[in-house]
Amino acid sequence: MAIRLGDEAPNFTAETTEGTINFHEWLGDSWGILFSHPKDFTPVCTTELGTVAKIMPELKRRGVKVIAISVDPLDSHRSWIHDINETQCTTVNYPIIADPDKKVATLYDMIHPNAIDNMTVRSVFIIGPDKKVKLTLTYPASCGRNFDELLRVVDALQLTAQYKVATPANWKDGEDCIITPSVDDEEAKTLFPKGFRTVKPYLRYTPQPNKV
């Protein structure tokens, strides 16, 4: 069955380019991103894995651990990493799961046979420190993902986990937020001392609460 938001991220133990990993133990108290790529030595995947290596400082700043997966074996991953580092001018600095028996890919429903046979699609799972799934994305093999969007979503998820706010369309870190409808105006005055502006009773904006 498909994994839904709020579900516990299924645990597994798998071989990776950084040794054997028990997923939940490896996550610890961190946020996590698990993302699949269809196949080693393919062009779009090469750019994606290089991009993730380059944004690692941004991920670390947000307390996010990243792990990639494909159904290719470990020796293939190891040799492909050389190509990624060379062509993308970076150093892959996170584990890649080898899943030749498709155990993890099946557990996470990453194989969509009507789209591509025998490989994973481009799945993303963002997992909170409580091990619950906070976001899922599925892209086709032909379309590389926007990793700036993943950073943006992590910012929104971390903010809304801490404060009674939601984020409007195209929100970016530092922009005004929406006060959640369950908060009435009296409570809003206490929770949001910077104030708020009411466009409609159900549409109230406040400066991002965790920014000075």
Residues binding ligand BEZ (CB under 6 A): 38-39, 42-45, 141-142
Work out how close the CB of 110 gets to ligand BEZ at its nearest, in angstroms, rounded to a whole number: 13
What torsion, rounded to 10 degrees, do the Cα atoms 151, 148, 68, 60 define? -40
Least distance (Å) between residue 51 CB and ligand BEZ: 12
Nearer to ligand BEZ by Cβ, of 141 and 154: the residue is 141
Complex with ligand BEZ: residue 42 or 136, whichever CB lies closer? 42
Is the distance from CB of 14 to CB of 39 less than 8 angstroms?
no
- Minimal distance, residue 58 CB to ligand BEZ, in Å: 23
Composition of the chain by helix, strand, coil, percent to 5: 30, 25, 45
CB nearer ligand BEZ, residue 37 or residue 204: 37
- Residue 196's closest CA among 171, 172, 175, 179? 179
| Dist CA 160 CA 163 (whole Å) | 5
Contact yes or no for 138/111 (Cβ under 8 A): no
39 vs 54 by CB, closer to ligand BEZ:
39
Instruction: Determine whether 45 is an active site residue.
Output: yes
- Taking the complex as a whole, the smallest distance from the CB of residue 179 to ligand BEZ amounts, in Å, to 42
Phi, psi of 136 (to 5 degrees): -130, 145
Q: Name the catalytic one among 45, 89, 143, 177.
A: 45
Catalytic site positions: 45
